[in-house]
A and B are shown apart, each in its own frame.
Chain A
Amino acid sequence: MTLSDGAIRPVYSKVASWLAATPAEVLASRRSQAELLFRRIGITFAVYGEEEKNGGERLIPFDIIPRMMLRSEWSHLEAGLVQRVKALNLFLADIYGAQEIIKAGRIPADLVARNAEFRPEMVGWHVPHDIYVHIAGIDVVRTGENDFYVLEDNVRTPSGVSYMLENREVMMRLAPDLFAEHRVAPVENYPDALLASLRSVAPAPAGGEPTTVVMTPGRFNSAYYEHSFLADKLGVELVEGGDLFVEDEIVYMRTTQGAKRVDVIYRRIDDSFLDPEVFKPESVIGVAGLMRAYRAGNVTIANAVGTGIADDKAIYTYVPEIINFYLGEKAILKNVPTWRCREPESLRYVQEHLAELVVKEVNGSGGYGMLVGPHATKADCELFAAKLAQDPDNFIAQPTLALSTSPTFFDAGIASRHVDLRPFVLTSANGVRVMPGGLTRVALKENSLVVNSSQGGGTKDTWIVEDSIFDEVQPLQSQTQVT
């Protein structure tokens, strides 16, 4: 919230006066109202291994102080996100097609060939409109006035968009005055935009009214709330694998009126569980024959099968290269400097500087399988060093960044905590679109850099506001003021 000289950043001026004018008890009671709302609506996520408490459902702590960003700052970020997602789509089409980027020697061949997320089944045919990544959630952090770094490209089944939408609804209820003063860019049209995107990539046989569904692994999945939320907002069926079957390479769902043809599947289930005929034979949450129907061009799967190769942490280090190769442009958003442990020199550096670095597994997610050097114990470091030595290809390392912080409300008062941001990017046959805002995640522990919900992080609403409203900063008008 503050600049390096300690002054309040202009974008937070109104928030600062709101905070100053609102007694801590009122803030606390608003926060508990918010929690009650979340609990009643059932906005929870499942935590594996916590089944015995609350039926294994936990609330993600919600912070009532919004994270603010000016439109001018956002536009820069937005341009960078569009560029990045465009390039990743071109990359995927190429990797499953001619593989020009490898032929040109711009990325090593074995990085693709030996990648666990590479799907040979996808080689040699085209998905509708060559769009592989329909929905992306790109994690970014800000380190300075105009410095955004991409932490991670999530292009398989990025989650959190329901929190972006619900956080906004809750903020509008809890702080209507503050909200009205800021003229915040709306995100509520996300479901419409998503549905339009999904329908735009329907296979040709679908005709004018493609049947779209959201596919979930089921109600025990940690993001089940989001799956049902999205299906509801989209107005489409939420299906499980058992609701679908394939006949003559066409996907159908089982309904009370018999079989109904399905054209577009927004799947929230990993590749390897999609079709037991092709991937894990023991999977019971998939649909036998789905890949045959997919390859026959009778159904569109979003995101496409095999997108995992593009958000691999090893590929991540090459994204600036990828952008340059396909678009002939310089990457607008920076990558966090990354040591690829597969490269001997880097490995040596990482081994020698373990205590200063964040070391991540190439395929890890959710804050699991990582070492945050500066906060790790000596024993943790030793344990990790052993893992690293055994399989260096599986790791990358990054410096800890001076992440920006955001004011966060606690019982003891307001304190600064590290934040990151996951904006959501939609790609349709008609172009790439970014929702103004996204999900801000906040580390609730002091100095912690880990903002993952499974690691105890919280969320807050993200407000993109027009620069012009701060041209003349006026004091907050109290509604109860007597004239």
Chain B
Amino acid sequence: MLSRTADNLYWLARYVERADFLARIIKAAQRLATLPASYSGTGTEWESALESSGAAEGFRASRGAAEEASVIDYLSFAPDNPSSICNCLKFARANARAVRTALTSEMWEAINGAWIELGRFETGNSGSGRYNREELSRFFELVKKTSLDYDGSVDRTMLRNDAYWFSKVGLYIERADNTARILDVKYHVLLPEHEAVGGSLDYFQWSAILRAVSSLTAYHWVYRESVKPWLIADLLILKKEMPRSLIACYDNIVHFLDAIGTAYGSAGASQKQAHEVMARLANATTKEIFKIGLHEFITSFVEDNDRLGRTINEQYLLY
């Protein structure tokens, strides 16, 4: 297929995934912010949301203090934030439009339909300080529904060929990055017990992390215990059953990159790197991870993940 087409599909998947993640982050922060001060701990939910989204620097450069209205506006609608939800969906739609021929009509309709509705929310809500929480909540529902519709249409309608594989690789690279970010931002609340950070107050922060990645129920099914920080780390890093864990993402990345390599009759640097990251995750234990330092482990993972993105770009998408 055309390199440009593969590139657009890869980024289309990444943008849809990113928009969904941002909506989840904001919802988690909103939930924490509504707790009485004695439950919510530090009161820095909006800082955390900015950090996890990767938009903190841009925000600080152009906005004041991190408050609900300004952060939500920046992460959701701000035209000057290249990674705002609206921009993600617009880029997704631009990518989709550029490769209409590579999309099934269901995929296109999922993206185009969202883009049409987006206009309505944007005109009503852009510009901080004029928030209607009910309206916002409908907006986040739209974003989540878009990613569900899109992923569903990808899985239900796409031919299993390189277009599908590149799209999937994009999705999982982005998701791995997102999961790693949220872990990194909250790593201080995930430190083992003897660091004595939390006790029961942190319970809500931990559940907020899980809720942000739609994993709270999964947690209970897997561990049948109340929420414990090292188990959260285990779930989100090392549990293959958990679809957002780093290892599950890499399981998929390896699988889809190998599929491309097989179909094309040759594998290259990206396949090699993906297998290396996978092996590291497969051999890791939570004990070791905390010994190295959770923050250090995650930082090095994020770097590896970025490097893989660049390698895929060089191997297949550059033209």
A residues apposed to B, CB below 8 Å: 39-42, 54, 218-219, 224-225, 228-229, 231-232, 237-240, 242-243, 253-257
CB distance from B174 to the nearest CB of A (A): 19
Residues facing A in B97-125 (CB within 8 A) are 97-101, 105, 108-109, 112-113, 116, 119
Decide: A254 near B319, CB < 8 A? Known: A42-B112, A243-B4. Answer: yes
Q: Is B285 an interface residue (CB 8 A)?
A: no
Shortest CB distance B25–A (Å): 27
Question: How far is A256 from B8 in the complex, measured between Cα atoms in Å?
Answer: 12
Name the distance in Å between B265's Cβ and chain A's nearest Cβ: 9
CA distance A24 to B28 in the complex (A): 50
Residues of B within 8 A of A225 (CB): 100
Which residues on A sit within 8 Å (CB–CB) of B101?
A: 228, 231-232, 237-238
Contact A243 B319 (CB under 8 A): yes
- Chosen A-B contacts, 8 in total, with CB atoms closer than 8 Å, are A41-B109, A219-B94, A237-B1, A240-B4, A243-B2, A254-B2, A255-B1, A256-B317
- The chain A residue with its CB closest to the CB of B94 is A219
| Interface flags, B30-51, vs A, CB<8A=1, else 0 | 0000000000000000000000
Tell me the number of A-to-B contacts counted with CB atoms below 8 Å: 60
B:1-30 near A, CB below 8 Å: 1-6
Interface residues of B (CB under 8 A from A): 1-6, 94, 97-101, 105, 108-109, 112-113, 116, 119, 162, 166, 260, 264, 316-317, 319
Q: Which 6 residue pairs across A and B have the least CB separation, nearest first?
A: A228-B100, A254-B319, A232-B101, A256-B316, A231-B101, A256-B6
Partner of A42, one of B97, B119, B317, B319: B97
B2 — which chain A residues lie within 8 A by C-beta? 237, 239, 243, 253-256
> Which chain A residues lie closer than 8 Å to B3 at the CB level?
243, 254-256
Task: Give complex CA distance A165, B108 in Å.
Answer: 19
Chain A, residue nearest B115 (CB): A55
Chain A residues, Cβ within 8 Å of B113 = 40
Minimal Cβ-Cβ distance residue in A for B113: A40
Given contacts A39-B116, A232-B101, A243-B319, contact A256 B109 (CB under 8 A): no
Q: Across the interface, which residues of A come within 8 angstroms of B112, CB to CB?
A: 40, 42
Q: How far is the CA of A228 from the CA of B105 in the complex (A)?
A: 12
Shortest distance between the CB of B91 and any CB in chain A (Å): 13
Task: Point out the residues of chain B lying under 8 angstroms from A229, CB to CB.
Answer: 100
> Complex: how many Å from CA A238 to CA B6?
13
Bound form: Cα–Cα A255–B7 in Å = 10
Q: Closest CB-CB distance, B189 to chain A, in whole Å?
A: 42
B264 CB contact (under 8 Å) in A218, A253, A257: A257
* Given known contacts A243-B4, A256-B6, A41 and B166 CB-to-CB distance under 8 angstroms: no
For the complex formed, measure the closest distance between the CB of B157 and the CB atoms of chain A, giving whole angstroms: 14
Beta-carbon contact of B109 and A40 below 8 Å: yes
Can you name 17 extra interface pairs (CB under 8 A) apart from A40-B112, A41-B108?
A42-B108, A42-B112, A219-B94, A219-B97, A229-B100, A237-B2, A237-B101, A240-B4, A243-B3, A243-B4, A254-B4, A255-B3, A256-B3, A256-B162, A256-B166, A256-B264, A256-B316
Across-interface contacts of A239 in B (CB, < 8 A) = 2
**Bound state CA distance, A255 and B97, in angstroms?**
19
A442 → B minimal CB distance (Å): 26
A464 to B179, CA, bound (A): 59
Tell me, in angstroms, the Cα distance from A41 to B109 when the chains sit together. 6
In the complex, A240 Cα to B113 Cα: how many Å?
26
Q: What residues on A are CB-neighbors of B100 within 8 Å? A: 42, 225, 228-229, 232, 238
Give the Cβ gap from A233 to chain B, nearest Cβ, in Å: 9
Residue of B nearest to A257 (CB): B264
Q: From A239, which residue of chain B is reached at the shortest CB distance?
A: B2
